[in-house]
Structure 1
Amino acid sequence: MDTMIDVVLRSYPVTTQTFHYQRLAEFARLGVLGTVWVESRSDGHVDPDLEALFGDRVRFIGDLPAPSSAEIARHAKLLTEAATKAKSGNGEGGPAGAVKQTLSGIRLGKYLRYHGAARLVHAAFCTANLTIARAAAQTAGLPYSTEVHSPLSWSRNPGWFRVKVADAYVVAVISDYTRKRVISHCPDARDRIVEVHCGLSSRPESPPSTNHGRMLTSVGGLVDKKGHDMFIGACDRLGEPGEVIGGGELQSDLARLIDHLDAPVQMLGELPHSEVLDRIGGSRVGVLAARQAEAGDEDGVPVALVEFMRAGVPVCSTPVAGIPELLRTIGALATENDHIALAAAIREGCAETSRGVEVVENSYSSEDESALLAKLLAAVPGPSSPDNTNKTALAASLGARRHKP
């Protein structure tokens, strides 16, 4: 492949987005990764092995020369769309945030137009990342693509989502559930959608564990959609020890709930990824009581569940979003927002482990999924191609595109 794909991230590094770093690492290994463009720095830490593969490719958009007032005026339509279509609570700072990110995109697009080597700009998420990537691509005269993970992308701001997806050449979704939801909002995008899972490396650091401990473990940010309060309630009902790994806005609320119930649950906060994997492998059951939160926000396909399955640990979750597709006939599903049902599912339904490893190896390999996405993006016509506006013809030519069973 000789396509150079520039990728847009909102911040770098981000400890909770392991699957994105693995995606970037695979793009680098395949020789298609150009520059990783980032809007802002964060305080997280990246796995040194992954950073060694692409860390020197990372550049910050704010370090580029700002566009002139004349250049901004030439792209007034992009700014007007951001100001009028973006809504508050949309995951990217409302209208003001969308305008700011559009300006970042214009700044990046100016650079790419005259100095960049990319043939395509890819947004790793379709909230702020896509706002930047779309503006950059349209300023530079390049095609762009995106990935859709969480319903937050469309549930809080469907009109702005439709605008941004309308001109994307490839829309990668992580589950059939997501595919159907995107089509319901953007029916014209149907032929440009491909299902590409958030995978894990098929070369894990250690084989699946056969010596699981007593602990029930829940991994994920301390936000409403993860349902950690239901997990705490289930541990209390079962009288079994549990641990919650992650940080976030509900830290104090969950700690108070544990104290109120005197539940046998520890809150471990954010941990290095290697330590998270050690605790996952030593768990008796991996639990994620996912729920649909305020304004329709919910998980896509939680990578933590994939990591439990790869470690050979039984899993228990809820039938939210793409989770039933992941668990299929393995693991246990409990009614959403019901800690009693969750406790019963943990007690009675978590026996199968070997098939979880098989599902991950066959359908959630980071290498295979990233290679598929790279092949799809390589099929996008370059900026000088006479077909670069014919997305329907492109969709018909994507022989590798598939809808997973």
Structure 2
Amino acid sequence: MHEHPSVSQTFVATEAAEVERLGIPVVGYALKRGSAPRPAASLELLCAPPSRRQLAWAALIGTPHLLALPWRAGERRLSLRESKRLVLAHLHATHALRQLRNEGLAHIHAHFLGRSADVAMLMAARLDCDWSVTAHAGDAYSPAEPALLERRLATAAAVACASRSVHDSLRRRLPTMSAPTAIVHCGVDTSALHFPVSRKSNPQPHLVTVGRLVATKGHWTIIESADALMRADGALRWTVVGDGPLQRPLIEAANRRGLTPRLSFVGALAHDAILTLLRDADGFVLPCEEDERGGSDGIPVALMEAMALGVPVVTSPVGGIRELVESEATGFLVPPGDSAALTAVVERIVRPTHPAEIEAIRVAARTKVEQEFDLVAGARRLIRLLDSYLP
């Protein structure tokens, strides 16, 4: 996995914990330490994420394997960027293999078709075992390392796709890929997410957004919409959870417009604190967009959690989101970057003229998550995909 404990990738730990609960022993390896104060689920790690000193030592002892690295992918030579990525993955693989000792590793599974997949690929080659990967979103839609991507897909024993959109994108990119694929949604534990039978109108409506502060989450659209909504409704509040490279400019923009503190950027929070916020929210807003390279979200888990908790959601039809949210049926979809459309839909949610319509959408949203995005069902699908490779 890329990081642990993670704020934005809680689904990795929860899926691994569920796979282990279903009888498959799991040991995790994280490339770096995440920013979450504690993990979303209990998961045994092979070792702590390595320090720079440990990676430097791995470089020394792993030189023979480094010289034997595959510097080509089919007919394509790796770019300088890809070569650097492969070297770093080699260091992680060497470090992880030193920690294995007698773990009896039978199979390696990576999340994301990036550096984590490269580490898994190199470890599997040295252990002579199979490896597999879950592809999520930008790692499939707009890969920065096309030659490495080709090699990952050519050597993986199986590929789990977090959405139909990801599945189709990979098949178009590499139609000759022989590895079996399956759609395995990264779901949520619906049994732990209580659905309130009804929700009362709140005179001080509270909106919540959860997601990394990056270009694909649509936070600049949120700034525009919050400005319009808060000028029209002096009681409305909006809490934005998450950290990332856009944190400072977004806070500065909110301050310039006089939106603070009603629009508050609270940084990264522990998973249980996020769920507490969602339970009290009157609407969940995540107007996702594509970045300049065509990358976008897969199916954000925070959307699933909000829907399971009965919170009306507003988002955009990018990536795999349309597989979860059907506009006017299980939530609301607005065009990416359209702050006016976002404002209009939020007003329908927080000041509904037809409350029964919102109630019907809440119920349908919960049903959708239960039937298609449940954590247990997703873990079982992953196990079925990997069945022939597992002990």
State the TM-score bracket (shorter-chain normalisation): 0.7 to 0.9
Tell me the SS of whatever aligns to 1:58: coil
Tell me the SS of whatever aligns to 1:296: coil
Contact 2:66–2:87, Cα closer than 8 Å, also in 1: no
| 1:33 shift after superposition | 2.4
Tell me the SS of whatever aligns to 1:290: coil
Cα distance change on mapping 1:64 and 1:321 into 2, 3 Å? closer
TM-score, normalised to structure 2's length? 0.84
Partner of 1:41: 33
Contact 2:193–2:308, Cα closer than 8 Å, also in 1: no
Partner of 1:216: 207
Partner of 1:172: 160
Contact 1:148–1:178, Cα closer than 8 Å, also in 2: yes
Partner of 1:254: 250
Cα distance change on mapping 1:111 and 1:199 into 2, 3 Å? same
Contact 2:288–2:297, Cα closer than 8 Å, also in 1: yes
Structure 2 counterparts to residues 186-197 of structure 1, below 5 A: 186-189=174-177, 192-197=180-185
| 1:109 shift after superposition | 4.8
Cα distance change on mapping 1:80 and 1:365 into 2, 3 Å? same
Tell me how far apart the structure 2 counterparts of residues 87 and 44 of structure 1 sit (CA, whole Å): 33
* Cα deviation digits, residues 227-281 of structure 1 (max 9, x gap): 1111121122122432211111111111122123223412122222212111112
Tell me how far apart the structure 1 counterparts of residues 249 and 191 of structure 2 sit (CA, whole Å): 38
Percent of aligned pairs with the same amino acid: 25
| 1:191 shift after superposition | 5.5
Amino acid at match of 1:248: G
* Cα deviation digits, residues 112-131 of structure 1 (max 9, x gap): 6x744122111122211101
| 1:196 shift after superposition | 0.2
Partner of 2:24: 32
1:309 to 287, 307, 310: 307
TM-score, normalised to structure 1's length? 0.81
Tell me how far apart the structure 2 counterparts of residues 150 and 237 of structure 1 sit (CA, whole Å): 31
Tell me how far apart the structure 1 counterparts of residues 77 and 48 of structure 2 sit (CA, whole Å): 27
1:182 aligns with 2:170: yes
Tell me the SS of whatever aligns to 1:287: strand
| 1:211 shift after superposition | 3.4
Structure 2 counterparts to residues 134-173 of structure 1, below 5 A: 134-153=121-140, 155=142, 156-173=144-161
Residue segments in structure 2 that go unaligned for 5+ positions in a row? 231-235, 350-356
Tell me the SS of whatever aligns to 2:213: coil
| 1:150 shift after superposition | 1.8
Partner of 2:233: none
| 1:107 shift after superposition | 4.6
Counting matched residue pairs gives 364
Structure 2 counterparts to residues 293-332 of structure 1, below 5 A: 293-328=291-326, 329-332=329-332
Tell me the SS of whatever aligns to 1:377: helix
Structure 2 counterparts to residues 51-200 of structure 1, below 5 A: 51=42, 54-55=43-44, 57-60=45-48, 62=50, 72-74=63-65, 76-78=67-69, 80-81=71-72, 85=78, 88=81, 95-109=83-97, 115-153=102-140, 155=142, 156-189=144-177, 192-200=180-188
Tell me the SS of whatever aligns to 1:38: coil
* Cα deviation digits, residues 299-346 of structure 1 (max 9, x gap): 110111111100101111111011111102421111111111211232
Partner of 2:353: none
Amino acid at match of 1:310: A
* Cα deviation digits, residues 47-80 of structure 1 (max 9, x gap): 47x22xx33x432475799679796435634253
Amino acid at match of 2:277: R
Moved more, 181-190 or 123-132: 181-190
Contact 1:291–1:320, Cα closer than 8 Å, also in 2: yes
Moved more, 249-258 or 239-248: 239-248
| 1:153 shift after superposition | 4.6
| 1:369 shift after superposition | 0.4
Residue segments in structure 1 that go unaligned for 5+ positions in a row? 1-8, 89-93, 383-405
Partner of 1:290: 288
* Cα deviation digits, residues 212-237 of structure 1 (max 9, x gap): 64112111111111111111211221
* Cα deviation digits, residues 128-171 of structure 1 (max 9, x gap): 11010000001110000000012245512222111111111110
Amino acid at match of 1:332: F
Tell me how far apart the structure 1 counterparts of residues 55 and 46 of structure 2 sit (CA, whole Å): 13
Partner of 1:393: none
Tell me how far apart the structure 2 counterparts of residues 110 and 140 of structure 1 sit (CA, whole Å): 12
Contact 1:79–1:102, Cα closer than 8 Å, also in 2: no
Moved more, 336-345 or 232-241: 232-241
Partner of 1:12: 4
Contact 2:7–2:269, Cα closer than 8 Å, also in 1: no
Alignment root-mean-square deviation, CA: 2.8
Tell me how far apart the structure 1 counterparts of residues 80 and 283 of structure 2 sit (CA, whole Å): 40
Tell me how far apart the structure 1 counterparts of residues 303 and 148 of structure 2 sit (CA, whole Å): 31
Cα distance change on mapping 1:110 and 1:242 into 2, 3 Å? closer
Tell me the SS of whatever aligns to 2:290: coil
Contact 1:183–1:190, Cα closer than 8 Å, also in 2: no
